[in-house]
Amino acid sequence: MKKQDAYGQAVFNYYHGLGGSEIVERDDGYFDISGGPPSYFEEYKDWPAHQKKALRLVRGRVLDIGCGAGRVALHLQDKGHDVMALDISPLMIEVCKDRGIKNAKVLPITQIKPVLGLFDTIVMYGNNFGLFGSFKRARWLLKRFAKITTPGGRIIAESNDPYGTSLKEHMDYQKYNRSRGRMSGQLRIRIRYKKQVTPFFDYLLVSKDEMKEIVAGTGWRIAKYVDSDRSLYMVVLEKE
């Protein structure tokens, strides 16, 4: 299992002063170096403006899904919020705990259940709307999240419009996805670090119009968007 935690190992090593780059490999053979470990440790003052603006809407008890090295959870914890931080990577959670996050657990998004308690806000930063994986799974999880949030609950998530690119490699991949019945931005990727590699997994990028289709009828409504100067944007969902 440790050999499959490439994502966690890259961040764990960076945290302990060791080098290395995180490689993202797509199922069509395309690969690239990600923003990688440094971005997981950015201080609040260095965050993009759209992330800061959206964070002002956080209230009450918070669930941080895909917490990474804990930059969002730590900031909110320091602001007095009761935060539970979740990640699929054991090494990420080890880093989180070492950095001072009081409540951090190893848990995949599909295993989030009412036993965790009720939350006022769910945050999914770092383009983590992608963790929903697919149209069908996103709707299933949003309905589940409605059961673990308070009546005034919110989800604050970051996504990336897949159509905001002019790169032929990405446009060809979107066409390839549509030809096999997948959403244009439904990536099939895995993470590599040195000799370690994760299994392939789905990661979902959606436009605002696609976001509306996903959210409709799940118990949530789109309250607002917070745009960036790129294709990244934040969406704020509120209970219907």
Helix axes 208-215, 135-146, angle to 10 degrees: 50
| Topology classification of domain 46-185+201-239 | Rossmann fold (3.40.50)
Among all chains, which residue has been given the structure tokens 């090593």?
13
Instruction: Please state, in angstroms and as integers, the Cα–Cα distance from residue 98 to each residue in 12, 47, 85, 149, following that order.
Output: 11, 22, 13, 28
Given this model, what pLDDT does residue 9 score? 94
Q: What is the mean pLDDT of each run of 10 residues along the chain (240 residues)?
A: 83 90 94 87 96 98 97 98 97 97 98 97 97 98 98 97 96 97 98 94 98 98 96 97
Give residue 223's identity as a one-letter amino acid code.
Answer: A
Instruction: Give, rounded to a whole angstrom, the gap between the first and last alpha carbons of the chain.
Output: 40
Given this model, what pLDDT does residue 20 score? 73
Structural Rg of the chain based on CA atoms: 17
Residue 112 CB coordination number (10 Å)? 20
Enumerate the β-bridge partners of residue 156: 123, 236
Enumerate the β-bridge partners of residue 236: 156, 224
Given this model, what pLDDT does residue 2 score? 62
**Residue 9 contacts by C-beta under 8 Å, 6 or more apart in sequence?**
2, 91, 193, 194, 196
Q: Return the domain boundaries, the chain.
A: 46-185+201-239
**Contact at 8 Å (CB) between 102 and 76?**
no
Given this model, what pLDDT does residue 34 score? 84
pTM of the model: 0.96
